[in-house]
Structures are given as C-alpha cells and as structure tokens.
Chain A
C-alpha cells in the first residue's frame, strides 16, 4: 500500500468513512458547536509521553496542529477531515484538558473599529 499522503489527496477521498474515526459519533461530547473559525490551542497538559492510549492517530494529529493557535477550519483543511469530525475530535481533546478554546465566536458585527482599521491597512498593503 502506498505510504504517506497519497491516499489523503482531496480527489481520492478519505480512506475510511468519515465518522469511523469518531466511533460513529456525530456530535461533540459536550454538545457545544465550535464555530468554523473558533481558535483553539493545545494546553500542553498531555506531553508526548503520557498521551493516553485513548487518543487515535487523528486526535494526535489535531493535537500537533494545536501547538500553535489554529482555527477549526484550518485543522479540517490540514487533516482532510470533515469539519463535523474535527469538531467531535476537538471536543474529546477539550474534555481531557489537552486543548482549550482561545476564541469561541468570531466578533462579527461587534468587531472593533481598530480591528477594521487594521484589516483595511493590511489589505491596502497587500
């Protein structure tokens, strides 16, 4: 069987049925729905050595990506897992205290004028 990412290409589709990696669960353990651009980060509470055996390779992969602050959407794109699956797996990691939410919801219409200005400046400088 070819190694590495060859089976993970977007066009070839997933190797296993998406919800097989969640054990058939379609909803996060705490029932909380993380926004697509909710920001999460690893807490460092599960260092490599004491990673519990309950973590699947997908959990570990997500945990690895969370070493830096990252959004749910980015995790989904990086891992090629559907967003729904990422939400379930992230909730598992959060329940274990391995991952924390930095920002749950985008500010949307409540975004401060200073942030709008920063975005404007950034766009103009592109």
Chain B
C-alpha cells in the first residue's frame, strides 16, 4: 500500500496484549513494570463511531465522553513492537473492550483475591470472544494467600487457561506472566490447527 516512504525500513509489526482486571487490581502497575517507556496515557474519545465495527449508522457522533487509556510498549529488534493496553475496568466502558480486543493476541486478567468477583466480567468476556487469556493473581502484600487451585475453582476456569501468581511491580514476574500467555497462545493454536479449521471470528455484539 505504501510506496514512497520516509522510513524505508521493514514494515513495523505492532501487536497488542490486553491487561484486564477490576479497579485497583494493578493493571497500570503491571504495564509500568515492563514497559520500555513510562506508561503512556491517551484519551480515547468515545464517539459512537469509535466502536468501529458495529453498525452505528444514524447514531454516529452522539457520545462525547472521554476515558483515559493507559498503555505500555516493548520493542523487540527493529520491527516488532508489543503494546500492552490496560482495559478500562468500569462496567460502563465495557463497550470499548470490543474495539480494544479487536486484533489482540491475547489478554492477561489480573485478579485480586480479596475481590475475586471483579474479574468475572473479564473472564466471561474473553471466553465468549475466544480471546486467549491467562489469569494472573496479583499477590498484594497484605492480601491472604490462597492455593491457586482454589482461585481456579472460584473462577470456574477452563482447564486450558493458565493461572499464575504474580507481583505486578516486578519485571521478572510480569515477564513470566506474558511468557505464559504467549506460550498458551502458541499451544492453543497448535491444538486448533488439528481441529475443525474454524474461520476467524469477527467481533459482534
């Protein structure tokens, strides 16, 4: 598509991973721990049209709310960039999830054992959309410790969904969470290849 460019390097391949979880579950902390730049913040304008792929003809330009969007970036080599987007946790922004999850590699759901139910919406959402995800239990200093298996049961997770304990402040810990996710994506792909050859699903409400 692009012919004459200023920057004639190989096309930049940008990928995104979503960081979901309830309010205060540590999403921004996690992004900040591993991002090569301080977490960037942008305001997403919520015009009806920004939903992007749903039919909004006739209602476009109605809403004018803004919501802050936090994201981080990790560059691999010269042309692969991984973006981590914090999903706005509040229920009322859930329609933004469609836009953000479009084309996402997968998602990390941060869970706080003191408010486990906060991550139910994310679990439901990604299960329904068939977006690969891992659950990362953020081990807050003053939170009670639970057996990961108990958490898994409480969340009624599919056996194929990895559950890891993490400390969202620690690079090494966040790194392990992301590696677990990417490995799970690769593994799931391997099993799906042998399956029915499902075609790509287009996001729909």
Contacts and interface: CB of A to CB of B under 8 A. Distances in A.
Interface of A: 10, 18, 26-27, 33, 35-39, 41-45, 66-71, 73-74, 76-77, 80-85, 100-111, 113, 115-124, 126
How would you classify the secondary structure of chain B's contact residues: helix, strand, loop or mixed?
mixed
B15 A107 contact: yes
A108 to B, nearest CB: 4
A49 to B, nearest CB: 16
Contacts of B15: 37, 106-107, 111, 115, 119
Interface string B79-104: 01111010000000000000110111
B153 interface: no
Interface string B99-135: 1101111000000000000000000000000000000
B79 to A, nearest CB: 8
A18 B45 contact: yes
B4 interface: yes
Given A82-B45, A84-B44, A120-B186, 7 more contacts: A80-B42, A83-B45, A115-B80, A120-B183, A123-B179, A124-B175, A126-B171
Contacts of B45: 18, 26, 82-85
A110 B200 contact: yes
Interface residues of B, number: 57
A18 B67 CA distance: 13
A18 B12 CA distance: 29
A116 B99 CA distance: 22
B52 A108 contact: no
A100 B1 CA distance: 8
A45 to B, nearest CB: 7
**A-B pairs, 8 with minimum CB distance:** A84-B45, A122-B76, A106-B103, A77-B40, A108-B103, A76-B42, A100-B2, A37-B14
A29 to B, nearest CB: 13
Given A37-B83, A73-B40, A100 B3 contact: yes
Contact of A45 (B4, B12, B42): B4
Contacts of B44: 82-84
A87 B13 CA distance: 19
B76 A82 contact: no
A26 B47 contact: yes
A124 B179 contact: yes
Interface in B58-87: 60-61, 66, 69, 71, 73-74, 76-77, 80-83, 85
Interface string B173-188: 0010011001101100
Given A84-B44, A126-B171, A101 B49 contact: no
Scoring A42, A105, A123 by chain B CB atoms within 10 A of each residue's CB, the highest score goes to: A123
A58 to B, nearest CB: 14
